[in-house]
Amino acid sequence: MKSLRLTLATLLTLLWIIPGQAQDMRMYNTVKTKLAAGGQVMGGTVDTPDAEIYCAMANSGFDFIWIEMQHSSLNYTDVARMIWACRDAPAVPFIRIPDATEGDIQKAADIGALGLIVPMVDDAEKMKNAVKFAKYPPEGRRSQGGGQYGRLWGSDYRRTWNDNLMIIAMIETPEGTAAAAEIAGVDGVDAVFVASGDLGSFTGKPQGDPDYERLVTRIKSATENAGKYVGGPSAWMTSREGYQFFQAPSTGALIRIGARITLEAADPCRFLPSGATPVAGENPCP
């Protein structure tokens, strides 16, 4: 009888564990898994509909592609084609949506974005709505519709989406800074991005100014206290501590940087005045 009880107990344990294991979510958002492991992530910015440029960026070593739809003429058809063209690239697609409307969020998710970057966040209500529109029930009210998301991320997309999605709030204004704790505290918000340039534009203060730095510190501290990731421009990766999520320069800027490096490698004197020495001990430039 004791043996039978043990057998039944073992069986019941297995029946309990196996369904639990079946509930483990398949993770395909590599940005989210890398952050959870304590790493830092960098996204290259794309604001052109050229699929070849998108693919070059997505295969160049970035963790994700920051697809710029707030400050560009890109439409969702353009972006859907770009994402599909490089569906096997290591860098996963994130979209900075024009605004946190239900339509923008639904379309961005339907075409395959794994991250939604919400601009101009001044209060927690905007992020509560973003989470509600982005996640499937019971956590939100995203409806089931058409799109290429299933072909990109698998037949279990509906079941895995809420766990794989990343939602990032951008704080760009003094109003957003004042509400940083409430914004970061919204359930479903994964990260808060300090929009360094816009913060300076809205306040009239440059980086390094005490007033500017107080705003940055307030956003960062509020985000850390909420247990969320902190984002900023790529220049902050080496100049400031405690940031995990970064935006790299745009494709145009990277083309200019790459062209200059290529030209300087071919002709060290190209950008130097006559008489300057490219490397100590070498002949001066003609």
- The whole-angstrom separation of Cα 169 and Cα 181 is 12
Question: Cis link prior to 49 (omega < 30° from 0)?
Answer: no
- The whole-angstrom separation of Cα 133 and Cα 209 is 38
Which residues carry out catalysis?
A: 71
Quick one: angle between helices 124-134 and 102-110, nearest 10?
40
What are the E-state strand segments in the chain?
41-46, 64-68, 92-96, 115-118, 166-171, 191-194, 229-233, 245-250
Chain centroid to Cα 245, Å, comes to 7
- The whole-angstrom separation of Cα 286 and Cα 277 is 10
Q: How many CB atoms lie within 10 A of CB 175?
A: 13
